[in-house]
């Protein structure tokens, strides 16, 4: 391991990269953050903003195989794979399918249980920091956080999953709701929603606002954030690392962190990272119900996630879908319509034709569902990515873990997670 770095370049100004920069500053490190576009310009902006340990679970799950591979070829499927000749995508999907088994899921959930135990406290360190560097955008208690279903059979799937998580040591606190209780808590739910679950101890945030506030905290402590700075190469030259930009300029530092989401593989492969990272694209838009729910609402069967963005007039973000394709492909209107079709029976008092801020973001997914956090083959080039849908939920924890690893301040518990997240794992 290289000596404690004095200057680190972080590639990526999303929640993961900026959290890493913030925690490195806690250890006295000077940071320069580079992003090809801007702060929160990728999947950190339009996601559901959930800080929900009860639902932060491994993406490769047996239910995907039960649904059937052919179902993923339909554009209205919650998990969609466009038919195309793409060798790397086929390779990723084969590895992903191998991990959609009960055995792999059981192993992964034990790792997620460890991560979830520290996820919210990492946020509290950001927002509760004393002095310069405090993140001024709050996280919000989800009161309530609801899951809605059209039948008891559908609800039983989530309840069984929670019981399994609890049996493996995870924290789940939930209660079942009948139709009357559910509609009292969320009057905007449609008549089709007859069964519910209330999750306790969860939070949420406005992701775009939070990440911008985090960027402000990093710059307030002297960090530099350069936008429009597309990195094309990272190379180690003895005791330093040179980061080359598309415009030919370069930045030299003691170490570099690759936290550029679904594009991380392009820079990381040269440093021994062979784990495939595939864009799992999610979609969202905003609507304005007659009565905006006071907390997040989840429809697991439809795979639709809804989050109030703040004040009632700011509306409700409706998000969903998992689409395995190139992160640079344009938004597919069929996927937006699929969310509308799935969500329409679940609400009343919503004019879906008035939706706005349609968005697609590329979430970096790994075949085993575990993030990549730690050193590459080079002890000066580090990776922080591959969180799938859980970059916001686990972003600050990731930053804390990696900053500790880079500065030699990791706890025993941190080292256990870093072992599971090793970017060099097979």
What contacts 327, CB < 8 A, 6 or more positions away?
261, 262, 263, 279, 281, 362
One pLDDT digit (tens) per residue for the chain, 426 residues: 567 999 999 999 999 999 999 999 999 999 999 999 999 999 999 999 999 999 999 999 887 766 655 556 677 777 778 766 588 888 998 999 999 999 999 999 999 999 999 999 999 999 999 999 999 999 999 999 999 999 999 999 999 999 999 999 998 999 999 999 999 999 999 999 999 999 999 999 999 999 999 999 999 999 999 999 999 999 998 999 999 999 999 999 999 999 999 999 999 999 999 999 999 999 999 999 999 999 999 999 999 999 999 999 999 999 999 999 999 999 999 999 999 999 999 999 999 999 999 999 999 999 999 999 999 999 999 999 999 999 999 999 999 999 999 999 999 999 999 999 999 998
Question: Phi and psi of 74, rounded to 5°?
Answer: -95, 130
**Residue pair 395/424 in contact by the 8 Å Cβ criterion:** no
Task: State the virtual CA torsion across 384, 114, 369, 14 in degrees, nearest 10.
Answer: -30
Let me know if domain 7-420 sits in CATH 3.40.50.300: no
Domain residue spans of the chain:
7-420
What contacts 47, CB < 8 A, 6 or more positions away?
207, 282, 284, 319, 361, 363, 389, 391, 392
Q: Which CA distances in Å does 201 have to 122, 142, 163, 173, 190?
A: 15, 7, 16, 7, 25
Q: Three-state DSSP class for 399?
A: helix
**Residue pair 20/403 in contact by the 8 Å Cβ criterion:** yes
């Amino acid at each position: 391991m290289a000596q404690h770095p004095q200057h680190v370049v972080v590639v990526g100004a999303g929640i993961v990269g900026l959290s890493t920069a913030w925690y490195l500053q806690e250890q006295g490190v000077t940071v320069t953050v580079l992003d090809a576009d801007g702060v929160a310009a990728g999947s950190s902006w339009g996601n559901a903003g959930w800080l929900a340990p009860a639902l932060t679970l491994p993406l490769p799950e047996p239910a995907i195989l039960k649904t059937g591979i052919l179902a993923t070829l339909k554009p209205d499927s919650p998990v969609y794979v466009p038919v195309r000749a793409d060798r790397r995508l086929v390779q990723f999907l084969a590895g992903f399918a191998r991990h959609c088994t009960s055995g792999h899921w059981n192993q992964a959930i034990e790792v997620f249980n460890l991560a979830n135990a520290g996820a919210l406290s990492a946020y509290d360190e950001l927002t509760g920091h004393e002095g310069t560097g405090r993140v001024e955008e709050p996280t919000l208690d989800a009161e309530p956080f609801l899951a809605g279903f059209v039948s008891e059979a559908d609800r039983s799937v989530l309840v069984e999953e929670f019981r399994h998580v609890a049996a493996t040591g995870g924290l789940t606190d939930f209660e079942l709701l009948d139709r009357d209780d559910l509609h009292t808590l969320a009057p905007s739910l449609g008549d089709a929603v007859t069964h519910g679950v209330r999750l306790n101890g969860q939070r949420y945030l406005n992701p775009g606002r939070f990440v911008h506030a985090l960027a402000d905290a990093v710059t307030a402590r002297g960090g530099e954030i350069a936008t429009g700075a597309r990195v094309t190469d990272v190379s180690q030259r003895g005791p330093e690392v040179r980061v080359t930009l598309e415009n030919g300029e370069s930045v030299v530092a003691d170490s570099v962190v690759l936290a550029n989401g679904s594009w991380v593989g392009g820079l990381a492969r040269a440093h021994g990272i062979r784990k495939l990272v595939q864009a799992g694209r999610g979609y969202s838009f905003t609507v304005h119900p007659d009565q905006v729910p006071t907390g997040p609402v989840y429809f697991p069967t439809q795979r639709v996630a809804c989050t109030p963005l703040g004040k009632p007039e700011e509306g409700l973000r409706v998000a969903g879908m998992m689409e395995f394709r190139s992160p640079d492909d344009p938004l597919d209107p069929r996927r937006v319509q699929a969310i509308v079709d799935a969500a329409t029976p679940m609400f009343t008092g919503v004019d879906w034709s008035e939706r706005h801020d349609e968005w697609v973001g590329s979430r970096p997914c790994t075949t085993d569902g575990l993030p990549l956090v730690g050193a590459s083959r080079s002890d000066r080039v580090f990776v922080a990515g591959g969180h799938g849908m859980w970059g916001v939920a686990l972003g600050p924890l990731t930053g804390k873990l990696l900053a500790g690893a880079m500065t030699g301040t990791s706890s025993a518990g941190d080292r256990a997670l870093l072992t599971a997240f090793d970017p060099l794992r097979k």
